[in-house]
């Protein structure tokens, strides 16, 4: 299938760029040139963008890789409609509703824009009948929860799992994913402000780490046994405490680095530890199909229902959306409609 003639020439579109490291104010909406898709590429019109903590870290120069300045792109997650495909693309056609698979360098392929071109292996179909805002809040959060907890951590019915950063987009997805497989989610949060929200979202138990001893509480909840799995967004020295809260032979999966200090390991051995990269995992086509099936059937049954904290209208609201993300006052996903 070849690209449509409308995109054989360079097109001008709007995108969010940044030319220096800093806070949300460094994000600028600018005109950029966009060529039609080349071989193996897909061009799609963006309808909604889902924000992720990694993007705030990248913008500030604190992510695990650095932006190329000036003029870095940004953004992992978007939902839209295919407008053109390049030679060699047979799985997608103009008019298909799709999502970005978030398995790319977002300094190069960042999805904050009106239109984007991605390699076909970085595109997945949107779940049938799911709107753009919901779709923008789905893929990265649920594929991370599914890939990290189920495929990597081996979460199974009857297990207890400790979920840190539980009010984030991935955290709320992890609660629902645990419930879907028949496990018991134990959510952690710093203070009391989000306890009731997390309980309403399905957490069986909530531990406030500012005032409660995590290991003691997990032991109490599990009748002295400990949890089978920990799913951690933070890393740092606190990772050792999570290991202390597990059963002997338990598994700890760290997928985030909100605490940039060195990760410390528990001496509660034997202990299996995984450093999970959803971007690397999602480069596997068979995994993308399994994750898409888990998410699609979960949305259809109602077992999975993404929590959207707030929706902003227009790319010009991207700085406001980033400010909300950095305030840590929200629960769930922040979405920008384009």
pLDDT tens for residues 68-90? 999 999 999 999 999 999 999 99
**Predicted structure pTM score:** 0.88
Question: What distance in Å separates the CA atoms of residue 185 and residue 178, rounded to the nearest whole number?
Answer: 6
pLDDT in tens, 155-188: 999 999 999 999 988 999 999 999 999 999 999 9
Name the band, by pLDDT with cuts 50, 70 and 90, for residue 7. low
Question: What confidence score (pLDDT) does residue 9 get?
Answer: 61
Rounded average pLDDT over 245-253:
97
Question: What distance in Å separates the CA atoms of residue 22 and residue 48, rounded to the nearest whole number?
Answer: 24
Name the band, by pLDDT with cuts 50, 70 and 90, for residue 6. very low
pLDDT in tens, 251-290: 999 999 889 899 999 999 999 999 999 999 999 999 999 9
Rounded average pLDDT over 55-80:
95
> Do residues 89 and 42 lie in contact, with contact meaning Cβ atoms separated by under 8 Å?
yes
Three-state SS for 43? strand
Question: What confidence score (pLDDT) does residue 90 get?
Answer: 93
* Residue 3, pLDDT above cutoff 70: no
Domains annotated on the chain, with CATH: 5-138+306-337 (3.90.180.10), 141-279 (3.40.50.720)
Q: Could you tell me which residues come within 8 angstroms of residue 299 by beta carbon, excluding any fewer than 6 positions away? A: 127, 130, 134, 138, 305
Residue-averaged pLDDT of the chain:
94
pLDDT in tens, 145-157: 999 999 999 999 9
Question: What confidence score (pLDDT) does residue 10 get?
Answer: 67
As beta bridge partners, residue 98 has 80, 125
């Amino acid at each position: 299938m070849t690209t449509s003639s409308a995109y054989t020439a360079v097109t001008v579109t709007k995108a969010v760029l940044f030319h220096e490291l800093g806070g949300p104010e460094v994000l600028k909406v600018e005109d950029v040139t966009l060529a039609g898709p080349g071989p193996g590429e897909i061009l799609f019109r963006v309808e909604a963008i889902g924000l992720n903590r990694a993007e705030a870290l990248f913008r500030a120069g604190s992510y695990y890789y650095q932006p190329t300045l000036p003029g870095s792109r940004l953004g992992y997650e978007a939902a839209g409609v295919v407008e053109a495909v390049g030679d060699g693309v047979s799985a997608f056609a103009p008019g298909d509703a799709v999502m970005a698979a978030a398995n790319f360098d977002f300094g190069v392929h960042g999805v904050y824009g009106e239109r984007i071109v991605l390699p076909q292996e970085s595109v997945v179909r949107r779940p049938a009948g799911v709107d753009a805002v919901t779709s923008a809040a789905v893929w990265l959060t649920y594929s991370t929860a599914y890939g990290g907890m189920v495929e990597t951590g081996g979460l199974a019915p009857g297990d207890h799992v400790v979920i840190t950063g539980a009010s984030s987009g991935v955290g709320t997805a992890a609660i629902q994913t645990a419930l879907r497989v028949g496990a018991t989610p134990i959510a952690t949060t710093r203070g009391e402000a989000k306890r009731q929200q997390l309980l309403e979202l399905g957490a069986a138990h909530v531990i406030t780490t500012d005032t409660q001893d995590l290991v003691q509480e997990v032991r109490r909840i599990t009748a002295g046994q400990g949890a089978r799995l920990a799913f951690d967004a933070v890393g740092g020295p606190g990772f050792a405490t999570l290991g202390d809260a597990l059963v002997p032979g338990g598994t700890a999966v760290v997928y985030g680095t909100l605490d940039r200090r060195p990760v410390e390991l528990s001496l509660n051995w034997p202990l299996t530890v995984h450093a999970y990269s959803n971007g690397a995992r999602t480069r596997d086509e068979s995994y993308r199909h399994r994750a898409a099936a888990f998410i699609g059937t979960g949305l259809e049954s109602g077992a999975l229902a993404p929590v959207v904290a707030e929706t902003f209208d227009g790319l010009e609201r991207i700085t406001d959306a980033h400010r909300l993300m950095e305030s840590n006052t929200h629960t769930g996903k922040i979405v920008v409609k384009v």
